[in-house]
Structure 1
Amino acid sequence: MKKIFFTPGPSQLFHTVSDHLKEGIKNDIFSISHRSIEFKKIYESCDYKLRSFLDIPENYNISFLSSANEIWERIIQNLVINSSSHLVNGAFSKKFYDFAIINKINAKEYYYDKVEYNINDIEEDELVAITLNETSRGIMCDSNKISSIRKKLNDSLIALDCVSGIPSIPFKVSDVDTFYFSVQKCFGLPSGLGVWIYNDRCIEKNKSISPKKITGTYHSLENLHKKSKIFQTPETPNVLAIFLLSRVLDDMMKIGRERIIRETNYKSALLYNTIKNHNLLSEYIKDQEIQSKTVIVSNTKKESEYFIENLKNKNLIIGKGYGSAQNQIRIANFPAHSKESIELLCDELTKL
């Protein structure tokens, strides 16, 4: 049996990626100029499919960058002049806050330790950063909570980190002003591409900021947006990744987003049930309302290597706890993971 990667990202490739790679090589896609009509068609097609698949309204714009980490920096540079607020519930939301501090922004941190966001804490700010799914700790924020934050904050720009959540965890796009993701998790692609979606409010805010501070060079929002309007990027982009994303979007659209969400919920229920009934495992996040559907985190009574190595011997590759976390495992549940592969993993976990 081939290895199956349940690591939180990079993770298992979507099953059609190898065919799309062959198609790209056969048609010389990866040698074409990024200023050519051929590339513009690839960009335009990917843009159209993202809008269709994710229900992105017309007043939102799409730019391609290198990673979600880069997008953090672009958001801080281009959308904030003085202050931002960060709802922190794990390592990645904390890093976004840290980026703001490094950029000399008066950033405020609201820390939530394994509990859901409390909207009573949150006040209006230039930008409020929230996370759809915190990859490091397996905590998610559901659509209703995001909507309630939007209702409270009329003036703030809301930025949503969707890196390990989209398209498997639904939310209403119009509840946020900007959201972003990278492709190596739920989209089942190699790493190296970040997708930044931002609405016209962000464009207007950037116009007011640009005369007052440096907002970047090649990747200023002004430059990114200008190029996106003609389906180009400021620099030579990751043509391979944009092409593959476009093709995988075709595949996911055939499956249907509702089915992807439904199957994600089914598979996560299997995993959590297995953990609950295991003598050596326990849920890291106890509150079912905020348990991640896409990155399942479990405490282990034995060293995590016991589980990691035993499953590796079965060609089932799971992740360890994030950073310095000990006695913890993380299991990805992305669209690339079939129901059968999750059932197999649960069976093998039960034997340990």
Structure 2
Amino acid sequence: MISFYPGPSKIAPDLDKYMQEAYDEGILSCNHRSPSFMQLMEECLLTIRKKLDLPKNYEVFFVSSATECWEITAQSYHGKKFMHIYNGAFGEKWSKYNQVNDPITYEFPLHKNISLHQLSQLGAADADILCLTACETSNTTFIHPKTFQKIKKRFPNPLIFIDATSSMSGLRMDWKSGDLWYASVQKCFGLPSGLGVMICSPKALSKINKKDTHYNNLWSIYKNQQKRQTTHTPNILGIYLLNKVLQHRPDITTIDITLKKRMKETEKFFKKLGYEFLVPVSRLRSPTVLGIKTSKEKVQLLKKLAKEHQITLGNGYGAWKETSFRIANFPAHTDNDYDKIKDFFKKIEKV
């Protein structure tokens, strides 16, 4: 079965081999204060820096999930003036979770880019933190790196927090256009769920509420990371697999080119078959998740037939749950996988 579900999705190749290696090496029996774990963490941090091309002064932290980052940021920056900028379900959920900080919200249309003028009108320049979603998995929209750069230039004072769950490790990021980035590993990293990665700038670290007493606050996470430890017993297997998978991957520039090229070809394919996309404007579509609209009856039929052909299509989400399906385009997917899904659609459409 090939899973095109947009997370958890298809896992990276050789994961079974890496899991056996972890078992054989005994790392899974080591406590998280031991030299063996600290060595693993150091190696994994170096691998992430190299493979994702991070700025030297940005820090990398391990948490349990992207969703946990909502809680960590709400607590660790409690009392700050937040503005949430979104057009989909996950961006909206983040803002609702952060109600403790009474954020300003700006919901921009699905078919349009973010309006810097509207942000100015809403007081973005006076905010402490701007929160955005790079690839909105629910509706498959995309914020171009140049848009982040424009926001950073227009509003230089606020911190910029970015949900990069469907893009980190799949697309090349302009890291300096954001101050705190986070993602879960079950999408572009090609791993089982249960681990999150957070990347922070020196500016983000300097603004942490150091008096926050929550157990997993960002200041404690940072202090422990300096010792190559964690605040809690971590997902050691997840960290081991993350290190192994990234070590055997091409650099992020190569992956970025590959995924964008494949998505363009996939869009052309489905357009030729007469399908409509959730996002009508090409430049606003995510390169990592494609959303396709059709009738409720056809969605049900497509998913049923796909399953018979050993293919898992992603469900629609939210308002589009019953009238759309989604197709993940992550690094673990191969061109051969895409040949198979195209052959399937050709067959059922009798092209």
| Alignment partners' CA distance in 2, 1:146 and 1:171 | 10
Distance 2:78 2:57 in 1: 20
What is the alpha-carbon distance in structure 2 between the residues aligned to residue 127 and residue 204 of structure 1? 13
Aligned 1:85-104 pairs, distance under 5 A:
85-101=83-99, 103=100
Q: 2:2 aligns with which of 1, 4, 12?
A: 4
Kindly provide the CA deviation profile for residues 301-327 of structure 1, in whole angstroms up to 9, marking residues without a partner as x. Answer: 343111111111110111110135221
The AA in structure 1 aligned to 2:188 is: C
Name 2:132's counterpart in structure 1: 130
Q: Does 2:227 match 1:230?
A: yes
What is the one-letter code of the residue matched to 2:337?
A: S
2:328 to 307, 327, 332: 332
Instruction: Give the TM-score of the pair, scaled to structure 2.
Output: 0.94
The 3-state SS of whatever aligns with 1:120 is helix
Structure 2, unaligned runs of 5 or more: none
1:250 corresponding residue in structure 2: 247
- Aligned AA (1:339): D
Matched, 1:283 2:285: no
Query: Structure 1 residue 22: deviation in Å?
Result: 1.1
- Which one of the candidate residues 192, 195, 219 is aligned to 2:194? 192
Deviates more, 1:77-86 or 1:34-43: 77-86
For 1:37 and 1:121, locate their aligned partners in 2 and report how far apart those are by CA, in whole Å: 51
Report the Cα offset of residue 216 of structure 1.
4.6
Distance in structure 1 (CA, Å) of the matches to 2:346 and 2:284: 24
Match in the other structure for 1:74: 72
The whole-number CA distance in structure 1 between the counterparts of 2:73 and 2:284 is 26
* Matched residue, 1:316: 311
Q: Which residue of the partner structure matches residue 30 of structure 1? A: 28
SS of residue matched to 2:117? coil
8 A contact 1:157–1:177 mirrored in 2: yes
Distance 2:265 2:78 in 1: 42
Task: Report the TM-score, using the length of structure 1 for normalisation.
Answer: 0.93
Once the 2 structures are TM-superposed, how far is the Cα of residue 241 of structure 1 from its aligned partner? Answer: 0.2
Superposed CA RMSD: 1.3
Cα deviation 1:187-233 (Å, max 9, x = unaligned): 11000001111122122211xx334xxx3522111110100001100
Q: 3-state DSSP class of the match of 1:109?
A: strand
Other-structure match for 1:299 = 293
Deviation of 1:289 after TM superposition, in Å, equals 0.8
2:259 is equivalent to residue 259 of structure 1: no
Any idea what the Cα deviations from partners look like across 1:160-183, whole Å, max 9, x if unmatched? 111011222222111111101110
**Could you tell me which residue of structure 1 aligns to residue 56 of structure 2?**
58
Q: Residue 52 of structure 2 contacts residue 172 of structure 2 at CA under 8 Å; is this kept in 1?
A: no
Contact 1:79 1:202 in 2 (8 A): no
Provide the residue aligned with 1:20 in structure 2.
Answer: 18
Q: State the shift of 1:80 in Å.
A: 4.1
Amino-acid identity (%) = 29
Distance 2:161 2:118 in 1: 17
Residue by residue, what CA displacement relative to the aligned partner does 1:58-91 show, whole Å, maximum 9, x if unpaired? 2211111100000111112112414211111111
Distance 1:310 1:318 in 2: 10
Structure 2 CA distance, aligned partners of 1:187 and 1:129?
A: 22
Counterpart for residue 180 of structure 2: 178
Match of 2:82 in 1: 84
Give the whole-Å Cα distance in 1 for the aligned partners of 2:173 and 2:245: 21
Q: Secondary structure at the residue paired with 1:289?
A: helix
1:127-178 superposed Cα distances (whole Å, 9 cap, x missing partner): 0011110010101111111100110111100001110112222221111111
Structure 2: distance between partners of 1:319 and 1:292: 15
AA at the equivalent of 1:139: T
Contact 2:75/2:214 (8 A) holds in 1: no
Q: Which runs of 5+ in 1 are unaligned?
A: none
Aligned partner of 1:108 among 104, 111, 114: 104
- Counterpart CA distance in 2 for 1:323 and 1:106 is 24
**In structure 2, what is the Cα distance between the partners aligned to 1:216 and 1:52?**
33
Give the AA of the match of 1:6. Answer: F
Q: Which has the higher helix share?
A: 2
Q: After superposition, what is the alpha-carbon deviation per residue over 1:5-54, rounded to whole angstroms, capped at 9, x for unaligned?
A: 10000000001211111111111221111111110011111111111112
Change (3 A) 1:327 1:216: farther
Take 1:234 and 1:50, find their aligned partners in 2: how far apart are those partners? 20
In 2, the alpha carbon distance for the partners of 1:117 and 1:84 equals: 17
